[in-house]
Amino acid sequence: MAARRAKVIAITSGKGGVGKSTLTVSLGIAAASTGKRVLLIEMDVGLRGMDIMLGLNNVVYDLGDLLEGRCNISSAIVPSPNVPELYAIVAPVLMGQVLLQDIQLLVEGLRAYFDLIFLDMPAGLGLGIRATCAVSDLALIISTPDPVCIRDGNQVVRELAARGFTSHRLIINRVNRKFIRRRVVQNLDEVIDGVGSQLIGVIPEDPEVTLFSSSGRLPDEKGELQRICRAICSRLDGEYQPLIIR
């Protein structure tokens, strides 16, 4: 059997509250459903939510415990109780300074044990950008179709480019036709051009996502969210999937 060498994908954004964590978990579920061994690492210190989304009631150690030496790696990695081959390291509630070299050592050490590693990065131009450039193979930039998110997404693209990192794609989240009808944006091309990244997926506004993110109720395997996320995962593997925007 060929040795694993995980592809590391950073989920990032310029502005907070765009749905990064929900999409990280959704993409993880979608990838694991195809038989891949998937690890999610929640990097947003103090803003833990992945445990609720995945229904993890047995979290004892988190990323902070691991990086500060209070546990070993096997104790920090928690398997999903509902999705085979899906694992998570959740964010610490409190933690001292996160050192980039520690993140690099952690991620490089984990590559051999997984097929995909998704990093749920903090929003903005700080640690998330530095870690994205240092450890990831691809960045997925999340933006909603509003002018502030578009502008901030472009700032992320510019900051990545300034550091020599050009491997990124765009996911437009929470697409609601009211935005376009009210001319908040003219169309989704305006979002793509404004952020400056190639589109890989469009996620519509969906009440199911709210239930999933707030209660741990897993998204319907046959529902629209998972269908779209599986298509995105196929595109990440280089497979052609038609982009359907309703």
Q: How many domains does the chain have?
A: 1
Is 246 domain-assigned?
Answer: no
Is 163 domain-assigned?
Answer: yes
Please report the pLDDT score of residue 215 as a whole number: 64
Please report the pLDDT score of residue 1 as a whole number: 40
Please report the pLDDT score of residue 84 as a whole number: 95
- Among the listed residues 37, 39, 33, 89, the one whose alpha carbon sits nearest the alpha carbon of residue 64: 89
Is 26 domain-assigned?
Answer: yes
Tell me the per-residue pLDDT of 218-231, one tens digit each, with 9 for 90 and over: 787 888 889 999 99
What integer is the mean pLDDT of 54-63?
A: 89
Give the residue numbers spanning the domain of 213.
7-236
The pTM assigned to this predicted structure is 0.92
d(CA 221, CA 239): 21
Is 244 domain-assigned?
Answer: no
Contact 203, 24 (CB under 8 A): no
- Comparison of pLDDT for 46 and 158, the residue scoring more: 158
- Among the listed residues 22, 81, 31, the one whose alpha carbon sits nearest the alpha carbon of residue 209: 22
- Please enumerate in sequence order all residues whose Cβ is within 8 A of that of 214, keeping only pairs 6 or more positions apart, or say none: 52
- Comparison of pLDDT for 212 and 92, the residue scoring more: 92
* Polymer length of the chain: 246
Least confident of 8-22, 89-103, 194-208, 211-225: 211-225
Is 2 domain-assigned?
Answer: no
Tell me the per-residue pLDDT of 125-175, one tens digit each, with 9 for 90 and over: 888 999 999 999 999 999 999 899 999 999 999 999 999 999 999 999 988
Is 144 domain-assigned?
Answer: yes
- Among the listed residues 207, 214, 138, the one whose alpha carbon sits nearest the alpha carbon of residue 174: 207
Q: Rounded to 10 degrees, what is the CA torsion of 184, 185, 187, 193?
A: -170
Is 245 domain-assigned?
Answer: no
Is 243 domain-assigned?
Answer: no
CATH number for the domain harbouring residue 140: 3.40.50.300
- Asked if residue 51 has pLDDT above 80, the reply is yes
**Residue at 81: amino acid letter:** P
